[in-house]
Amino acid sequence: MIGQRRVLAVIPARGGSKGVRLKNLREVGGRSLIAHVGEVIRTVPEIDRAVVSTDHDAIASAAEAAGIAAPFRRPEPLSGDQIGDIDVLKHALTATEAIDRKRYDIVVMLQPTSPLRTATDVSATIRMLVDGGWDSVWTVSPTDTKAHPLKQLALSEGGALDYYDPRGAEIVARQQLEPLYHRNGIAYAITRECLIEQRGIKGKRSGALVTEGEHVSIDTEWDLALVDFILARRSADSSSRH
């Protein structure tokens, strides 16, 4: 709870991932992605309740073992790969409120696919939402200039090369590029009013918490291997300091 406002953490974890089968149960650093979320939640004092939104019994069991409640199953219409976060979060919020007979004022989405998050990041996101009176706050990372939209290229069916954005032809040095940011999946804090009345996860007044450091949003086997490498290096660095 923060400022008399109840906080519900929702962990979306369907079983039908196509890129990596049962991705949310895969292990990095010796623990499943679901277990990493549970470990973080336990040390975020603002969170009153944490639930997993899943359609898969094994994921539900893993979540419960990690300290995350699984009081319902996600309905089949919300289990496809074309379903947006808003529908999943609204269902999880209303289902939990019906079970608990309580109103939750803030929803925090914590996707298992960002296992390098810290409790400090999550707490800071929630506090920024409340202190700034935002409708929502997303965590973002600075985008490397190599991935800037004005440096992207497009290919026609015949293989002809062109700038994705014609303005890219004017860029001769990275110093000309405006700093941009991308969502990193660490945390999304959203007010109940934003979800239910504005019907979105990005409200009329939305803020961004810029987080530094290594953050990987897992979509592929390569991403899993990269996170394993980062965690192993951190462990080695920590051992060398003691």
pLDDT digits (tens, 9 = 90+) for 3-13: 999 999 999 99
CATH 3.90.550.10 fits domain 7-142+180-240: yes
pLDDT of residue 242: 66
SS3 category, 232: helix
Across all residues in the chain, what is the average pLDDT? 94
Examine the pLDDT at 90 and tell me if it is beyond 90.
yes
Q: How confident is the model at residue 51 (pLDDT cuts 50, 70, 90)?
A: very high
Q: How confident is the model at residue 43 (pLDDT cuts 50, 70, 90)?
A: very high
Region 67-86 average pLDDT: 89
Region 80-99 average pLDDT: 92
Among 9-13, 121-125, 155-159, the least confident range: 155-159
Q: How far is CA 218 from CA 43, 114, 136, 172, 209, in A?
A: 23, 7, 23, 33, 20
Are the C-beta atoms of 80 and 39 separated by less than 8 Å?
no
Residue 9 CA to residue 45 CA, distance in Å, equals 12
pTM, rounded to two decimals: 0.93
Examine the pLDDT at 237 and tell me if it is beyond 90.
no
Examine the pLDDT at 219 and tell me if it is beyond 80.
yes
Domain boundaries, the chain: 7-142+180-240, 144-178
Beta-carbon-side half-sphere exposure of residue 108 (alpha carbons within 13 Å): 33
Percent share of the chain, pLDDT over 90: 87
